[in-house]
Amino acid sequence: MKGWLTKSQKQFILEHLGQHTELPQEILDAFSFGTQSAPSDLCIQFHTSEDPLDLDHILWIDKIPVLYPVRDQADRFYSIQGKNLIFHHDLLKSAFHMLSGYEEFKIKSLDSYGRFPYQDSIQSKLGITGKPIVNYYFEHILDGIEEFCRINKIPFERFPVFRRPVFMLSHDIDLVSEFGFFGTGFRFKQLLGLAPATMSRKNHFLRAFEALFHFLNPFSGKDPYWNFEGLMDWAEDRGFRGTYFFLEREGGRNDNSRYHFHWKKFRRLFRELDSRGHEVGIHGTIQSATSQASMDRSVQNLREASPSPVEGIRQHYLKFTPGITGQIQQNAGLVYDATMGFAEHEGFRHSYCWPFRQYDFELDRSLDIWEIPLIVMDTTLFNYRKLDLSSSQATIEKLLTEVVKFNGVFSLLWHNNFFDEREFPGITKLYTSILDLCHEQNLEGLTGKKIVDRMRFAK
């Protein structure tokens, strides 16, 4: 990222910093940007850099990388000089690079699903996926401002939007029937070696003929994928409510879901979720990531079936095209997106554990739509990373520790069809233990809509 931050880009970072505390006008008036000598009167100076990113010259301070260091400056974040506060490196540009997703807009490489690859991210290259680096930047900036105010006897108190960490529990509803025609067929494809094997041959044999039995006898028992009562109970027993993202049927049978929102069983489900305080959101189809017509159609269909307004979205397969998808979502009247996580690796895709505005580089301004970053997805741990249960739990605990440190939002995605004890023995216990851990850590359970309402109406 070459050159200075534009006025809009600088304002984008300062607005997000302002979510962590109220910055009085007296403080804002003291801000100065550049590498010139600080004025003699009270000044909070942010040194700036016009240099492009150079991975070989990143400065590490207390194990936190500064992407845009200023040459010949100290290896610390800030210092007090007289009564002035000096930030020695371009923390604002470093924060903007990560928070805006600049790389994803600039680098055009895509994986087979049309997504920005984790391996090309700066988080992967620097090994910082497990740390919300922008939160660390903000904390150092606020520490410096607090010290500046104390020395100059200026009243200052932190008023963050979130006074305690938040838990966003969500479920993407891709499949609702294990024993349907396609589900049964898939089990036999696995048995015959025509689809990836996920269990022992014996278990594949048992599952295939179990699926066939239930398919031929549709009233023989409850389908394990239609488990919404249990999901709601598990959450409510711990004081949480979930956000459920439903996927419209569109395109080929393997593209999206195999159900329609207007079916009676779904209308009943939407009413029950709503009456119990859970949220109904849209799981954007593959097509909707780049098609306004597709997005408008599926959002409208869900709004007609849902008893409450549909305001949140997560894109199917986490497919998100910078500069396109966010604008499409906003045009459809959606308030927030919850897509931004790497499918291949858990952690902080934009190096931040708070909600933030999406940024439009073409218009050089932030969009109205909010982003609630996704931190952990079940299939990331077990399908992409091939972790076992204990390693998955340890990984989640480390990420949760980082979120709690900053009173951030711990966003967990767990699919309704990801409770197969034959494929992953102990998976249900792991899931409920994660809920227990969030409860023990005193996380406040909020749906996506309630999280964004806090951000929207904080001031």
Count of structural domains, the chain: 3
CA angle 403, 409, 414 (to 5 degrees): 105
Q: Which amino acid is at 302?
A: L
Q: Check whether residue 392 and residue 322 sit in a common domain.
A: yes
The answer to whether the CB of 247 falls within 8 A of the CB of 256 is: yes
For residues 139 and 170, membership in a common domain is answered with: no
> For residue 66, what is the enclosing H or E element?
strand 64-66
Residue 243 and residue 219 share a domain = no
Residue 112 lies in a domain: no
pTM: 0.92
Residue 395 and residue 256 in one domain? yes
Token pair, residue 285, equals 């189809």
Residues paired with 266 in a beta bridge: none
Which residues partner with 336 through β-bridges? Answer: 312, 370
Q: Is position 430 within any domain?
A: yes
Distance CA 418, CA 378 (A): 8
Q: Are residues 292 and 316 part of one domain?
A: yes
Res 414: pLDDT: 98
Does residue 122 sit within a domain? no
Domain stops at, among 201, 223, 245 = 223
Residues 333, 301 within the same domain: yes
Distance between CA atoms of residues 218 and 145, nearest Å = 65
| Confidence (pLDDT) at 196 | 64
User: Helices marked H in 107-176 — which ranges?
Assistant: 122-126, 133-151
Question: In 276-407, where does DSSP find H-type helix?
Answer: 292-305, 325-331, 378-379, 389-405
CA 190 to chain centre: 32
**405, 445: one domain:** yes
Burial 241-257 (b: 16+ CB within 10 A, else e): bbbbbbbbbbeeeeebb
Residue 213 and residue 91 in one domain: no
Q: Do residues 89 and 59 touch, judged by C-beta distance below 8 A? A: yes
**What single-letter amino acid sits at 19?**
Q
Residue reference for tokens 């079916």:
263
Q: How many CB atoms lie within 10 A of CB 365?
A: 15
Which amino acid would we find at residue 133? I
How are beta strands 84-87 and 78-81 bridged, if at all? antiparallel
What is the domain extent for residue 449? 166-176+225-456
Residue pair 350/134 in contact (Cβ under 8 Å)? The answer is yes
Same domain, 255 and 373: yes
Tokens encoding 289: 């990531």
Per-residue pLDDT reduced to its tens digit, 151-169: 999 999 898 999 999 999 9
3-state class (DSSP) for residue 214: helix
Greatest distance between any 2 Cα atoms in the chain: 84
Q: Are residues 252 and 189 in the same domain?
A: no
Residue 319 lies in a domain: yes
What CATH number does residue 335 fall under? Answer: 3.20.20.370
Where the chain has pLDDT below 50, the residues are 214
CA distances to 170, 303, 309 from 280, rounded to whole Å, are 10, 9, 8
**Does residue 266 lie in a domain region?**
yes
Amino acid at 407: N
Residue 159 in any domain: the answer is: no
* Residue 336 maps to a domain: yes
Phi, psi of 379 (to 5 degrees): -70, -20
The reported pLDDT for the residue numbered 182 is 55
Q: What is the pLDDT of residue 190?
A: 59
Closest CA to 188 of 177, 201, 176: 201
Whole-angstrom Cα distance, residue 278 to residue 233?
11
Are residues 65 and 33 part of one domain?
yes
- 393 found inside a domain: yes
Same domain as 379, residue 314: yes
